[in-house]
Amino acid sequence: MIGFLYGQTEYNILKSAMRLEDYVNKAKLYGYKSLSITDHNMYGHYKFYNLCLKNGIKPLIGVELYYKSFDDKKDKIIVYALNDTGYMEILKLSSIDKLEGKIFSLEELSKFENVIFISTFESEWYRTNDLNVLYDKYKMLKHFGIGLSFAGQSLLSQSNLLYEFATKNNIKIYPISPTLYDTLEDFDAYEALCLIASEKPMSYFDFHLKNLRDLEDEYFMHEEVFKNYEELVTESSVTIFKVKKSLPKFNTGLNTSSAEYLQSLCQKGLERRYSYSHVADLKKYKERMNYELSVIHSMGYDDYFLIVWDYVRYAKKTGIMVGPGRGSAAGSLVAYCLGITNVDPLRYNLLFERFLNPERVTMPDIDMDFPDNKREDVINYVKSKYGDYRVCTISAFGTFQVKSSIRDIGRALKIKSQDIDIITKLAAKASDFDTFLSDYRENKEIYKLLTVAKKIENLPRTITTHAAGIIISDDDLTNNVPLQKGSTDLYQSQLDSHDLADLGLLKMDFLGITNLAIIDSICSSIPNLNNITIQNIPLDNEHTYELLRKGDTDGIFQLESEGIKKVLVKLKPTSFNDLVAVLALYRPGPMDNIDEFILRKHGKSFSYLHPDLEPILKETYGIIVYQEQIMQICVRFAKMSLAEADILRRAVSKKDKQLLTENREKFVGGAVKNGYEKKVADDIYDYIVKFANYGFNKSHSVAYSIISYHMAYFKANYFALFMAKYLNSVLGNVSVIENKLMYARRRGINVLPPNINSSCEYFVTKGNDLIYPLTGIQQIGFQIAKQIIAERENGSFKSLNDFKERLPQINKNVIEALIYSGAFDSFNVTKKMMLSQSDPLESIFSNELKSELKNISGELSADELRLGERKYLGFNIQYDLFKNMEYLQKQYNAIPFSKRAINYNSRIIVEFLNIKEIKTKKGDYMALGIAFDGKTSLKLVIFPNAYMKIKKMLKTDELYLTTGRLVKSSVTNEYEYQLDDILEKIR
């Protein structure tokens, strides 16, 4: 059997351009019966294993490691599993390598006896002629072979010497033909990857995938290597088994089973929920709970629910807010009774089978939302409970995108930066990259750049971490999964989420939600609302619905886009169910039904295909909005169980012709048997098919609507506090903060500048005032802010000198930032005077400074004050161009955009932003930009005649009295300001 060792794939990130699928498919085409993988990690080994089996190729699972040679260098050695135990040993070795950055000694490697170690051409075997002494040291390895490579001329002499030595000493020799790219023409892709990684490509070696004849020719004088290779392939036998039991057994701490303990918790939870919500039909709830428990137990998920319950309980006990629910889990009464979710599924007609179907064995999926600033606390609890090697995060991979990778490759190929800029911008605009590529065929440098960009498209570029997923295992994870260091204190699997799921390991999602952090912070600031639940926030608050009907939903979870605001304004929601429907409808596909939904809500008449549809579709005005409605229709008409209905719903949504026909027969047959006419049954089935792709998971929509509603409630009823907490969530984003502060002012909030004696680390409120934080000032981070606030506990700062004496570690740059931002204004000293005292090393009592201060009078100019404040805040609060705007408008007989008549020339005071000069088709110059009147931003258009007249006056960051017209663009259908003239500069 002919084959080779040392195949390395795309998952040897930035070191190989060999795509995994291409590697296996090309090997099959060439006639390989076995194939090796030896990346310096195990990111791709499970995919490789499955691809090989699928293509009838025997996979050789290996890994490349570093070890310390006897001449004290870091050398490479490759390791292959000989059996299932050997595979586990490789998992351990790779985990040690990635967790510790290990450079192994031969003594350490010798403990692993179910693998074979094979030397590489990048090892001491290719550096020494004293092979007898070297081999004596390697005898401690139970299975060892010498790797022979003829990939380059420089290796020939040593390879022949090694062959003779191995033959003489009866040492197995193996063909190592490193494979890093597909064909010889793909060397440029491999080269680019190496250069991007700041490594030197081995251009003097041939690392392409060879066909069997070329491989045979390479070793034609050393055919024994193939006999040894065949023996290795025959003797090695590795099966990667699925994990049969992945979850830990939950320790109840009592002499009861998990099922009994779960039932006891649910019973107590139901009684607690019942006492709070006054359930009218407790019997119905008990029946539903017992049914769910029987399904959970029969599917073996008692421990799963207890594990989730346990870390949710921990979160709540330690004051960490838990989201109301996510996904289909909100349809489970058991989850509600346990406090895992906060959505009553019977109240909202949610279905358990949409979450867990007894007739379709799938893993449960309870995803949990926590405030993003406390998510790690819950994960660390799980880690401490189950152990370091039983809990891990999950790897994900950032990939090269053809257009965005042009910069990387351009720098690597040392192309001029200006050429890279131009080609990157052009590529970003290209609708078809292949056509774009062909346009540069004559320019060899650019053509190579673009060709290589295309070649490495979608190859892994970086290792990242799955945003939410956590694996919790019953066993030491390294028995099944290779681990590595993660971005947090948790270890991270080297496999991605798809491989882990296929192996049988259960992923639990711990999501960090900024909006929950905002709600949590608001609740902690309002008495009697520390534990926000759907029970104590009224769902019929008129102020909240008034805000929703206005589309005033900036900062509100799921409702911030301009499109969904327009839907809210048109719909005019009056109930929580309206909000649930909006979240379900506002997505591609279902959007088509929004206008009809709104018309029907506001009185348009409609009819049902059959009267029996009315109880199911009444809340959505005869339109199928939710997946659960499809299931209910199947139950009502075809007498299916909810489990069967869920299977039909899934099948129909795939739009597969055979499945559609099969399920039509099933539905229509059941409906006819249930007493409905065949035509009615056919029509209703067609109706189901029409909406099957559009239906949304109602459980998820209800759960997320609760978060949206709560935020809207707080914004409508505690506006200043809501704005403070929202602004705290975007600290550092200057443009967002400026925009939201302007909005807050329009809503009547008084925005106060930083104050050294009252500002905190974050935005805070005082009545209707919003106090700007110290950390919002350039130069001042949390560490400096904390020092200032801590010292302030010893008494307010009385003067600049007092501040300097009490905080001598604060440097001049920080002091200047505090001065310009207005933080020292309460000292009643001019900024000009304070700036002269800003050096912390100078005392106000020094004779030299006293003399200087006598000559300082007056204040900085208006422009200096405004620009200084803008420099350190990013915008203006005290020295806002638009301050006293109503007075200015009266003084100059001007009006705001909001009061202007269309196509009517009038006077308006504006600031110009983003001015850009362009050339017309006739060769004249004009300008485009933005005109801002302090409240409204409009596209600015200055045609050539006006532009030539005012060009020299046009400046940003100044306020002008202008004349112009408000016009509706025929192109964009949006209003724009066509400027005629600048009458004068105001500020």
C-alpha to C-alpha distance for 178 and 65, rounded to whole angstroms: 15
SS (H, E, C) 799-820: CHHHHHHHCCCCCHHHHHHHHH
Do 367 and 419 belong together in one domain?
A: no
Per DSSP, the three-state class of 374 is coil
C-alpha to C-alpha distance for 227 and 213, rounded to whole angstroms: 16
In-domain check, residue 760: yes
Q: Which helix (H) or strand (E) holds 100?
A: helix 84-100
Q: Say what the pLDDT of residue 534 is.
A: 46
Query: Burial, 171: exposed, middle or buried (Cβ in 10 Å; 0-12, 13-18, 19+)?
Result: middle
Please give the residue range of the domain that contains residue 441: 401-455
For residue 373, give the nearest of 80, 100, 693, 725 by alpha carbon.
725
Do 391 and 411 belong together in one domain?
A: no
Q: Please list, in sequence order, all residues whose beta carbon lies within 8 angstroms of the beta carbon of residue 857, skipping any fewer than 6 positions away.
A: none
C-alpha to C-alpha distance for 11 and 463, rounded to whole angstroms: 10
- Indicate the DSSP class of residue 825: G
For residue 531, name the pLDDT band (cuts at 50, 70, 90): low
Q: Which amino acid is at 573?
A: P
Q: Which helix (H) or strand (E) holds 595?
A: helix 594-601
Count, in order, helices (H) and strands (E) of the chain: 40, 21
Do 390 and 407 belong together in one domain?
A: no
| Tens digit of each residue's pLDDT (9 = 90 or more) over 164-184 | 999 999 999 999 999 999 999
Do 174 and 48 belong together in one domain?
A: yes
Q: Say what the pLDDT of residue 460 is.
A: 97
C-alpha to C-alpha distance for 575 and 539, rounded to whole angstroms: 8
Task: Please say which residue of 851, 873, 895 terminates a domain.
Answer: 873
Cα-to-chain-centroid distance, residue 578: 29
Do 891 and 833 belong together in one domain?
A: no
**Three-point CA angle 689, 693, 699, nearest 5°:** 115
Query: What residues form DSSP beta bridges with 146?
Result: 173
Tokens of 427: 């590529």
113-to-229, 237, 805 alpha-carbon distances in Å = 19, 15, 69
Query: What residues form DSSP beta bridges with 975?
Result: 968
CB 15 within 8 A of CB 185: no
Do 618 and 735 belong together in one domain?
A: no
Poorest-pLDDT segment among 489-498, 527-536, 562-571, 634-643: 527-536
Q: Scanning the structure block, which residue is given the tokens 């709540």?
A: 316
- Indicate the DSSP class of residue 246: -
Do 330 and 218 belong together in one domain?
A: no
C-alpha to C-alpha distance for 45 and 63, rounded to whole angstroms: 9
Query: What residues form DSSP beta bridges with 59?
Result: 35
Query: Burial, 509: exposed, middle or buried (Cβ in 10 Å; 0-12, 13-18, 19+)?
Result: middle
CATH number for the domain spanning 60: value is: 3.20.20.140
SS (H, E, C) 455-521: HCCCCEEEEEEEEEEEEECCCCHHHCCCEEECCCCCEEECCCHHHHHHHCCCEEEEEEEHHHHHHHH
pLDDT at 755 over 70: yes
Q: State what percent of residues in the chain have pLDDT above 90.
A: 75
For residue 276, name the pLDDT band (cuts at 50, 70, 90): low
In-domain check, residue 781: yes
C-alpha to C-alpha distance for 55 and 37, rounded to whole angstroms: 15
Using only C-alpha atoms, the chain has a radius of gyration, in whole angstroms, of 35
For residue 848, name the pLDDT band (cuts at 50, 70, 90): low
Task: Please say which residue of 186, 201, 235 terminates a domain.
Answer: 235
In-domain check, residue 829: yes
Q: Between these two residues, 92 and 900, which has the higher pLDDT value?
A: 92
Query: Burial, 890: exposed, middle or buried (Cβ in 10 Å; 0-12, 13-18, 19+)?
Result: exposed
Pairing of strands 483-485, 507-513: unpaired
Q: Please list, in sequence order, all residues whose beta carbon lies within 8 angstroms of the beta carbon of residue 281, skipping any fewer than 6 positions away.
A: none
CB 559 within 8 A of CB 571: no
Tokens of 891: 């003084």
665-to-621, 650, 669 alpha-carbon distances in Å = 28, 16, 6
For residue 625, give the nearest of 561, 566, 690, 574 by alpha carbon.
690
Half-sphere exposure of 845 (CA within 13 A, CB side): 4
In-domain check, residue 860: yes
Q: Please list, in sequence order, all residues whose beta carbon lies within 8 angstroms of the beta carbon of residue 386, skipping any fewer than 6 positions away.
A: 248, 472, 473
For residue 850, name the pLDDT band (cuts at 50, 70, 90): low
Do 733 and 780 belong together in one domain?
A: yes
Query: What residues form DSSP beta bridges with 976?
Result: 939, 967
Q: How many CB atoms lie within 10 A of CB 313?
A: 15
Do 868 and 968 belong together in one domain?
A: no
Name the average pLDDT for the chain.
92
In-domain check, residue 575: no
CB 698 within 8 A of CB 584: yes
Q: Please list, in sequence order, all residues whose beta carbon lies within 8 angstroms of the beta carbon of residue 815, skipping any fewer than 6 positions away.
A: 800, 803, 804, 838, 840
For residue 813, give the nearest of 843, 791, 780, 790 by alpha carbon.
780
Q: Which helix (H) or strand (E) holds 686?
A: helix 678-692
C-alpha to C-alpha distance for 749 and 260, rounded to whole angstroms: 55
In-domain check, residue 843: yes
Do 113 and 215 belong together in one domain?
A: yes
In-domain check, residue 105: yes
Q: What is the pTM of this model?
A: 0.86
Half-sphere exposure of 674 (CA within 13 A, CB side): 17
For residue 204, name the pLDDT band (cuts at 50, 70, 90): confident
Per DSSP, the three-state class of 894 is coil
Query: Burial, 161: exposed, middle or buried (Cβ in 10 Å; 0-12, 13-18, 19+)?
Result: middle
Q: What is the mean pLDDT of residues 700-717?
A: 96
C-alpha to C-alpha distance for 456 and 439, rounded to whole angstroms: 20
CATH number for the domain spanning 828: value is: 1.10.150
Q: Say what the pLDDT of residue 846 is.
A: 56
CATH number for the domain spanning 925: value is: 2.40.50.140
C-alpha to C-alpha distance for 752 and 336, rounded to whole angstroms: 44
Q: State what percent of residues in the chain have pLDDT above 70.
A: 97
Q: How many CB atoms lie within 10 A of CB 789?
A: 14
Do 623 and 480 belong together in one domain?
A: no
| Tens digit of each residue's pLDDT (9 = 90 or more) over 799-811 | 999 999 999 999 9
Task: Please say which residue of 199, 220, 235 terminates a domain.
Answer: 235
Ranges of H-type helices in 219-323: 224-235, 258-277, 282-298, 302-317
CB 550 within 8 A of CB 569: yes
Q: What is the mean pLDDT of residues 704-730?
A: 96
Tokens of 335: 């989850």
pLDDT at 932 over 50: yes
Per DSSP, the three-state class of 956 is strand
Tokens of 541: 């608050």
Do 386 and 479 belong together in one domain?
A: yes
Q: What is the mean pLDDT of residues 242-255?
A: 88
Q: Please list, in sequence order, all residues whose beta carbon lies within 8 angstroms of the beta carbon of residue 945, skipping any fewer than 6 positions away.
A: none
Q: Say what the pLDDT of residue 278 is.
A: 58
pLDDT at 152 over 70: yes
Q: Say what the pLDDT of residue 427 is.
A: 84
| Tens digit of each residue's pLDDT (9 = 90 or more) over 957-969 | 789 999 999 998 8
pLDDT at 973 over 80: no
C-alpha to C-alpha distance for 842 and 853, rounded to whole angstroms: 12
Tokens of 783: 């560490």
In-domain check, residue 681: yes
Counted domains in the chain: 6
Q: Please list, in sequence order, all residues whose beta carbon lies within 8 angstroms of the beta carbon of residue 265, skipping any fewer than 6 positions away.
A: 306, 309, 337, 338
Half-sphere exposure of 709 (CA within 13 A, CB side): 31
SS (H, E, C) 598-625: HHHHCCCCCCCCCHHHHHHHHHHCCCCC
